[in-house]
Structure 1
Amino acid sequence: MGRRFVDLVWIALATALCAGCGTTAPSRFYTLDSTAAADGAAPTRCAVIVGPVSIPASVDRPEFVVQVAPNRVEIDEFNRWAAPLDQGIASVVAQDLAVLLGTPQVATAPLANFSPDYRVTINVQRFDSIRAEAVIVDAVWAVQKTGSGPARSGRTVAREAVQDGGFDALAAAHSRALATVAADIAAAIRATSVAVR
Structure 2
Amino acid sequence: MALPLKFTVLAACLLLGACRSDPISFHTLTPAQPAAGRSGSDIAIEGVSVPPQVDRPQIVIRQGNSGLAILETEWWGASLADELRSALVDQLSNAGGSRKVSVRIDVQRFDSIPGQYALIDAKWRLRSAGESDNGLLTCRSVLQTPSGPSIDELVIAQQNNVKRLAAQITQAAGNGRGCPPAS
Q: Aligning the two structures, in what range does the TM-score lie when normalised by the shorter sequence?
A: 0.7 to 0.9
Letter of the structure 1 residue corresponding to residue 171 of structure 2: A
2:164 counterpart residue number: 180
Distance (Å, rounded) in 2 between the aligned partners of 1:135 and 1:125: 14
Q: 1:96 to 1:182 in 2, by over 3 A?
A: same
Partner of residue 139, structure 1: 122
**Preserved contact between residue 31 and residue 82 of structure 1 (Cα < 8 Å):** yes
Deviation string 1:114-154 (CA, Å, 9 cap, x unpaired) is xx921110000011110111011001001100112421110
**Alignment RMSD (CA, Å):** 2.9
| 1:152 and 1:192 in contact (8 A); partners too | no
Q: Give the TM-score normalised by the residue count of structure 1.
A: 0.73
- 1-structure distance, mates of 2:91, 2:15: 50
Checking the alignment, whether the CA contact within 8 Å between 2:118 and 2:157 is kept in structure 1 is: yes
Shift of 1:184: 1.1
Deviation of the 1:98 alpha carbon: 2.9
Matches of 1:54 and 1:94 in 2, distance apart?
14
Partner of 2:69: 74
Q: 1:58, CA displacement in angstroms?
A: 0.4
Which of 1 and 2 has greater Rg? 1
CA contact 1:36–1:179 (8 Å) conserved in 2: no
Kept in 2, the 8 Å contact 1:33–1:172? The answer is no
Q: Residue 155 of structure 1: CA displacement?
A: 0.4
The count of aligned residue pairs is 166
Normalised to the residue count of structure 2, the TM-score between the two structures is 0.79
8 Å contact from structure 1 (residues 127, 136) kept in 2: yes
Which residue of structure 1 aligns with residue 113 of structure 2? 130
